[in-house]
Amino acid sequence: LSIDVDKPLHSVSPTLYGLMTEEINYSYDGGLYAEMVKNRTLRDGDWSQQDWLVMQNASAGAKFDQDKSTGPSEALNDSMKLTVTSASPSEPAGVRNMGYWGYPLRPNTTYHASIYAKTDASDLALHWNLVSNKTGRSVASAEVPAIGSDWKQYKVTLHTGAIEASEAYHLELTVTKPATLWFDLVSVFPPTYHDRENGNRVDMMEMLAGMHPAFLRFPGGNYLEGDHIKERYDWKKTIGPQVDRPTHPSPWNYHSSDGLGLLEFLEWCEDLHMKGVLAVYGGYSMKQEHVEPGKDLEPYVQDALDEIEYATGSTDTKWGAQRAKDGHPKPFDVPFVEVGNEDFFDRSGSYDGRFKQFYEAIKAKYPNIQIIATTPVKSVKPDVVDDHFYLSAEKYFDDVHHYDNTDRNGPKIFMGEYATMEGSPTGDFGAALGDAAWLTGVERNSDVVIMSSYAPLLVNVHPGGMQWHPDLIGYTGLSVYGSPSYYVLSLFAGNVGNEVPESSLSGAGPRIAYSVTTNKATGKVYLKIVNGAPTPQAIEIDLKGVGHVGSTAKVERLHAMSPVDTNTINDPKHIVPVASTLPVAGDNVKYTLGGYTFELIEFDTK
């Protein structure tokens, strides 16, 4: 392997590695979004799921129903009605919420809870308890002393003591005398990342930070489009107070609370220092419904302009002012807008016209925003085209030169979704090798491929939590782990120079792939090399054009005995990078790359 360190071919895109996200696999509800109450507005039409259960016994009678005639807001215009016919302090009656696979509680922790409620009884106290599923005993409690006769929000805090960290808890809301209680939007939050109210899980955000992401593509994916136009991601219904968000059905077969709405996506970007790649609804939904370009499309184009203004406009603008009212006066950094998602599925052929209409309107108002098309178009030249690849490891290895001959005068490429389709719920080691091989091709061509993101990013590994596999990061309520690919991506993004030098490889086996980047200022040379075959491979590295090479190189090695080896929720660190050093004497390095191995080697040439 010969590397001409002083002969740069092109620079490396500063936005090369990022994240793609959507509501799938309980990514937000029951995932990143830290809310613990499942079906908190009872808008998830499927009552058979038994998220809420009525509590009564021999001497306490209660009935639980949905009341469509009253609710706390225009958006939430119905509610849960609890009719208690008999109850006493020793025999309370009420409801329990079983959470997303339980309530993941930790010891000595404060939980912030709230509810909208009203009652027909006077001096009705509402008791909150977090209760152990195993013992039936309360481990944290609080009380709203008196619920009024008009809709109002009540807040309490619950503190756990020296309890066992476990998901085997639930929430109970009870009263101790006969009454009718209407309630809605019940919420319980653990501590969140950066202590944001209505925020994200700390452990999952830390995991994502470990990927050194430069951008976040949101909110989809299919989730942006919806099955039908009326089920699209209608961003205006996802902002403002939670009580003003009507919630919506998602294409991944569960209802979305929209608690993590547009502002929360943008704050997520801010928290992890990521640029926003905002996907705006482009007038096509997955069951082949589309809006014809022209007059009919105008309201959708206006919605996109408003959305961009909400994200990036000054507080003097209508939607910038709305953002300030929602708690964030400072505009966000959103340099990319994508129009739609996977519009090659639109059999009407309307995307060319739709894209042009969005493109021209957005460019006229925001000339600096880079506009991404989801498939090639002829009507205008998009700044960027989004490519999606879900392939086998073999195919990725075979196609590592995919972008070598891409037209450099055409649009830039965003590899907005890719994953080696091996392993479940998260990718296995063979998948990690496929992803690593593919990324070498992306990095080598990072003059034209300016962004990349794996998909899907997240999966709740509880039974019933997954709609798509493989995924990158798995979790339950209390634990989170990275697939071997997670470590590959983290190593790629965390160790990259700003230039790609000339290099060539000869005499290597068929399943060897590599990429090199350099940073002149620091003198670092980063070599990423994959061996997808079981047999070791002797490598001789020639570092040309360097005056000096440090006597050791840093190595991070990811290896497993078999491609089907993997990480799991119970064995989360089975395959992780192992750090070591490689002795280096001069500019010629001979060493052996093990079978089934991905390695990052960092040379110091300063």
Residues that bind ligand AHR (CB under 6 A): 22, 220-222, 341-342, 417, 455-456, 468
Instruction: State the Cα–Cα distance between residues 85 and 59, nearest whole angstrom.
Output: 10
- Residue of closest CB approach to ligand AHR: 221
Least gap, CB of 459 to ligand AHR (angstroms): 11
Task: Closer to ligand AHR by CB, 358 or 598: give it.
Answer: 358
Query: Where are any strands of DSSP class E within 91-148?
Result: 93-97, 110-119, 124-132, 138-147
Least gap, CB of 520 to ligand AHR (angstroms): 37
Least gap, CB of 168 to ligand AHR (angstroms): 31
**Residues contacting 243, CB < 8 A, separation 6+:** 72, 73, 75, 76, 116, 153, 184, 185
Task: Closer to ligand AHR by CB, 34 or 472: give it.
Answer: 472
Task: Closer to ligand AHR by CB, 387 or 417: give it.
Answer: 417
Does 425 sit behind a cis peptide bond, omega within 30 degrees of 0 on the bond before it? yes
Task: Closer to ligand AHR by CB, 306 or 342: give it.
Answer: 342
Do residues 52 and 37 make contact, with C-beta atoms less than 8 angstroms apart?
no
Least gap, CB of 53 to ligand AHR (angstroms): 33
Least gap, CB of 27 to ligand AHR (angstroms): 10
Least gap, CB of 341 to ligand AHR (angstroms): 5
Instruction: State the Cα–Cα distance between residues 38 and 27, nearest whole angstrom.
Output: 14
Of 205, 165, 182, the closest CA to residue 82 belongs to 182
Task: Closer to ligand AHR by CB, 458 or 575: give it.
Answer: 458
Task: Closer to ligand AHR by CB, 172 or 343: give it.
Answer: 343
Task: Closer to ligand AHR by CB, 219 or 276: give it.
Answer: 219
Least gap, CB of 227 to ligand AHR (angstroms): 12
Least gap, CB of 131 to ligand AHR (angstroms): 37
Of 93, 86, 90, the closest CA to residue 56 belongs to 93
Task: Closer to ligand AHR by CB, 310 or 351: give it.
Answer: 351
Instruction: State the Cα–Cα distance between residues 507 and 525, nearest whole angstrom.
Output: 22
Alpha helices for 163-291 (secondary structure H) = 202-209, 222-225, 262-271
Residue with tokens 């964030």: 328
Least gap, CB of 377 to ligand AHR (angstroms): 18
Task: Closer to ligand AHR by CB, 382 or 456: give it.
Answer: 456
Kind of pairing between the strands at 370-373 and 336-339: parallel
How far is CA 448 from each of CA 16, 120, 223, 443, rounded to the nearest angstrom?
A: 10, 66, 28, 10
Tokens of 153: 């929000």
Tokens of 465: 């939590």
Residue 120: CB atoms within 10 A of its CB come to: 12
Q: Is 348 helix (H, G, I), strand (E, B) or coil?
A: coil
Residue with tokens 């061509």: 445
Least gap, CB of 98 to ligand AHR (angstroms): 28
Do residues 114 and 171 make contact, with C-beta atoms less than 8 angstroms apart?
no
Triad 453, 458, 464: Cα angle to 5°: 145
Do residues 220 and 233 make contact, with C-beta atoms less than 8 angstroms apart?
yes
Residue 374: CB atoms within 10 A of its CB come to: 27
Least gap, CB of 419 to ligand AHR (angstroms): 8
Task: Closer to ligand AHR by CB, 258 or 387: give it.
Answer: 387
How far is CA 257 from each of CA 44, 149, 301, 339, 485, rounded to the nearest angstrom?
A: 9, 26, 25, 24, 30
Task: Closer to ligand AHR by CB, 15 or 341: give it.
Answer: 341
Least gap, CB of 149 to ligand AHR (angstroms): 46
Task: Closer to ligand AHR by CB, 20 or 543: give it.
Answer: 20
Task: Closer to ligand AHR by CB, 218 or 403: give it.
Answer: 218
Count Cβ atoms within 10 A of the Cβ of residue 461 and give its class: 0-12 exposed, 13-18 middle, 19 or more buried.
buried
* CA dihedral (272, 277, 281, 285) positive or negative: negative
Instruction: State the Cα–Cα distance between residues 141 and 126, nearest whole angstrom.
Output: 11
Least gap, CB of 223 to ligand AHR (angstroms): 6
| 329: alpha, beta or left? (left if phi > 0; alpha if psi -120 to 50) | alpha
Task: Closer to ligand AHR by CB, 173 or 455: give it.
Answer: 455
Least gap, CB of 219 to ligand AHR (angstroms): 10
Of 53, 61, 57, 87, the closest CA to residue 172 belongs to 53
Cβ-count burial 489-519 (b if 16+ within 10 Å, e if not): bbbbbebbbbbbbebeeeebeebbbbbbbbb
